[in-house]
Structure 1
Amino acid sequence: MLKTLLIVGAGSFTGGALRYLLSKALQNWGFHSFPVGTFWVNILGCLAIGLFYGLFERNNLMSANLRLFLTVGLCGGFTTFSTFINESFQMIRDANFFYLFLYVGLSLLGGLFMLYVGYSLVKWL
């Protein structure tokens, strides 16, 4: 159990650090009212987890420990659903409903689409 926790923790640390760096880098490219950094981190995280799960099913290419590191750890630390919810709530509080619906809609639909793309890319290769 300790080994599993260390594997997940190492992945979470890596994912969290990557999320912070990418989110901060991208936030300067967007609109002040729209959380561009968090949006792209969530979309790319969905693509990554789709790719990983596609690889898992393809000839059993990854060990159980690597799966835990990549999905529970790395993707769990990288994606920012709680931040997504918090930012959505802030837009509700600010009565910024246009950006709220844009953000929520694009995040959910884009995330599902990118997960499908990642999964399908592995299946087609």
Structure 2
Amino acid sequence: MIVLLIALGAAVGAPLRYLTDRAVQARHHSPLPWGTLTVNVAGSLLLGAVAAVPADPALTALVGTGFCGALTTWSTLSYETLRLTRDGNRHLALGYALGSLLAGLGAAWVGYALTHAVTG
């Protein structure tokens, strides 16, 4: 049952990642992958919120593992960082990688803190 919930969450998260990435990237004419950064930070915020609530393992599997796991993407961030480096944008690549890590961790912390404050 848990595996099915993970698959269901992923079935929603993966297309949402793709559509969000395309929509955000279409608005920016920059080599910086704003779409991936957006979904990674948003997913980290949500995952931080999920971690703050004592939820049923099934809900955690659906939202945390399935949805957030498919919405966010470390592999794409890694590829895009490599692509920026190969294209001669080394400083941008370094800033993107470090900025993504800090923004993701910060978003997870904010999601956790806000949810914990609200749910007490």
Q: Aligning the two structures, in what range does the TM-score lie when normalised by the shorter sequence? A: over 0.9
Deviation at 1:32, TM superposition (A): 2.5
Aligned-residue identity in percent: 33
What runs of 5+ residues in structure 1 fail to find an aligned partner? 57-61
Equivalent pair of 1:38/1:80 in contact (CA under 8 Å): yes
Deviation (angstroms), 1:77: 0.6
Preserved CA contact (<8 Å) 1:50 1:114: yes
Say if 1:29 and 1:36, in contact at 8 Å, map to a contact too. Answer: no
Residue aligning to 2:73: 80
Query: Aligned residues, how many?
Result: 118
For residue 100 of structure 2, what is the aligned residue in structure 1?
A: 107
Question: 2:91 & 2:63 partners in 1: Cα distance?
Answer: 35
**1:53 is matched with which residue?**
51
User: Over residues 71-95 of structure 1, what are the superposed CA-to-partner deviations in whole Å (9 max), with x where a residue is unaligned?
Assistant: 1100011001110001111112112
1:96 is aligned to 89
Q: Deviation per CA, 1:39-63, whole angstroms, max 9, x where unpaired?
A: 111011110100111123xxxxx22
Deviation at 1:102, TM superposition (A): 1.7
Could you list the per-position Cα deviations for residues 7-52 of structure 1 after superposition, in whole angstroms to 9, with x for gaps in the alignment? 1111111110111111111112224310000011101111010011
Asked if the contact 1:45/1:79 (under 8 Å) is kept, the reply is yes
Stretches of structure 2 that go unaligned for 5 or more consecutive residues are: none
Aligned residue runs from structure 1 range 1-125, under 5 A: 3-56=1-54, 62-125=55-118
Q: Which residue of 2 aligns with 1:59?
A: none
Distance across 2 between alignment mates of 1:69 and 1:96 = 38
Tell me whether 34-43 or 93-102 shows the greater mean CA deviation.
93-102
Superposition TM-score, scaled by structure 2 size: 0.93
TM-score (norm 1): 0.89
Distance 1:10 1:97 in 2: 38
